[in-house]
Amino acid sequence: MNYPRSIQKLIESFSKFPTIGPRTAARFVFYLLKAKDEDVDRLVSSISDLKKNIKTCSLCFNTFEAEAEICEICSNSGRDKKLLCIVSKDPDLMALEKLKIYKGLYFILGGTVSALRKKDIEKLRFKELKERLKKDPGIQEIIIATNPNTEGEATALYIERILAPLNKKITRLGRGLPVGGELEYADEETLKSALEGRK
């Protein structure tokens, strides 16, 4: 016996959500069956309106919601136009913005490459990145803020390679021991960075 077709269809849709398997998807459906009509209606209209309301900034590819063509960060005259931070995705930009210490601009690459296959590379905004830097000669430092894992490293190396001809200062986020970490259990590269980056 299976769940009724309408439930089954929705379980399938929710199972495509990141990290969600069929069991949790089924819990979502039963949650919706019990939810108030107004909550379900709000969810439906929020999903329906999402793509209509949300624009992608033509400069940094950040998502935003306004009449304008470019996002609040790019159009903010108070930001430091000499700094460009390259992140792989929106939540990484949000994580950096929350710190309230970075005042430069961003560029969202749209993902990471695991291998340097043409197909993977074409999915990311490397071409747009090069164009952006051509148009914006005032940028003096490019911060590559990809994750310090295998994919993030491969992506960073590829960015460094394609930006090398520009002769700009290129930096990477510092490595070291994270808050709460332990020397004894740190991997060697992390500990090496922590020792070399002592201050």
Could you say which residues in the range 1-30 bind its own copies, by CB under 8 A?
Answer: 1, 3-7, 9-10, 13-14, 16-19, 23-24, 26-30
The set of residues, in sequence order, having a beta carbon less than 8 Å from that of 140 and lying 6+ positions away, is 82, 83, 168, 169
- Taking the least distance from each CB to its own copies, the nearer of 23 and 134 is 23
**What track of x and - describes contact with its own copies for positions 48 through 87 (by CB under 8 A)?**
xxxx-xx--------xxx------xx-------------x
> What tokens does 198 get?
């002592």
Q: d(Cα 138, Cα 112) in Å, to the nearest integer?
A: 26
Binding mask 100-129 for its own copies (x = CB under 8 A): -xx---------------------------
Tokens of 193: 């960075």
Q: Residue 66: phi, psi to the nearest 5?
A: -170, 175
Contact flags string 129-148 toward its own copies, x per CB under 8 A: --------------x-x-xx
Element (H, E) at 108: strand 105-108
Which of these ranges, 114-122, 125-133, 155-163, 191-199, lies near its own copies under the rule CB under 8 A? 191-199
Query: CB 117 → its own copies: shortest distance, Å?
Result: 20
Could you tell me the smallest distance in angstroms from the CB atom of residue 83 to its own copies? 10
Backbone angles phi, psi at 137, to 5 degrees: -70, -10
151 in contact with its own copies (CB under 8 A) = no
Pick 98 or 118: Cβ nearer its own copies: 98
Residue 35 binds its own copies (CB under 8 A): yes
Residue type, 62: N
CA distance 133 to 84: 9
| CA distance linking residue 11 with residue 27, whole number of Å | 9
* Minimum CB distance to its own copies, residue 191 (Å): 6
**Strands of 169-172's sheet in order across:** 105-108, 83-87, 141-144, 169-172
